[in-house]
């Protein structure tokens, strides 16, 4: 799907509890493959997972400019699954509360390694013309049943936190 044709659905997300692993990284020192390699073998040990969907979540620090990111500024990256509030989480993992709120949800089909152009479209074209502002909550991708790493037929949802520009 061409990024220029991507029109998001605006959704209100209810708060969620997620469990998994996190790493500090920067865009220059991307440790995403290492994070997922450490998480995937352990995800089956989480008692109380609510689905097979995986969450790739980013928490950017105050002052992080998503429009022109400093390639060396550190942020948190998480590999997660949604869990019930009473889930039994292994010692090697942490739980995180994902606050609810308004999100622009983009459906992306294509090789995940080429998603950079989609994010350039979202933050460079769509958001400035949308009537929304970026909100300071976690950004995340939902990697569902149609997600296939390094495959041009892969599908995922990109969730961008927004608020109305009043």
pTM of the predicted structure, to 2 decimals: 0.92
Domains in the chain (CATH in brackets) are 3-164 (3.20.80.10)
Residue 24, both tokens = 């500090």
pLDDT of residue 161: 97
pLDDT of residue 68: 78
**In angstroms, rounded to a whole number, what is the distance separating the alpha carbons of residues 101 and 85?**
19
* 73-109 exposure pattern, b = at least 16 Cβ within 10 A, e = fewer: ebbebbbbbbbeeebebeeebeebebeebbbbebebe
Share of residues in the chain with pLDDT > 70 (%):
97
Residue 5: which pLDDT band, with cuts at 50, 70 and 90? Answer: low
pLDDT of residue 71: 86
Q: Is the dihedral of CA 23, 25, 27, 29 positive or negative?
A: negative
Q: Say whether pLDDT at 126 is over 90.
A: yes
Q: Say whether pLDDT at 132 is over 90.
A: yes
């Amino acid at each position: 799907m061409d990024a220029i044709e991507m029109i998001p659905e605006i959704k209100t997300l209810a708060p969620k509890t997620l469990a998994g692993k996190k790493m500090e990284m920067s865009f220059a020192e991307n440790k995403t493959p290492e994070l997922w390699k450490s998480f995937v073998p352990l995800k089956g040990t989480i008692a109380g997972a609510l689905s097979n969907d995986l969450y790739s979540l980013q928490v950017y620090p105050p002052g992080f400019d998503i429009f022109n990111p400093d390639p060396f500024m550190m942020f948190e990256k998480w590999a997660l699954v949604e869990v019930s509030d009473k889930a039994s989480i292994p010692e090697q993992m942490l739980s995180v509360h994902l606050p609810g709120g308004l999100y622009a949800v983009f459906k992306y089909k294509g090789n995940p390694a080429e998603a950079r152009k989609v994010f350039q479209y979202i933050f460079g074209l769509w958001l400035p013309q949308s009537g929304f502002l970026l909100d300071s909550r976690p950004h995340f991708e939902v990697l569902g049943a149609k997600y296939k790493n390094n495959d041009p037929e892969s599908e995922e949802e990109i969730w961008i936190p927004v608020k109305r520009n009043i």
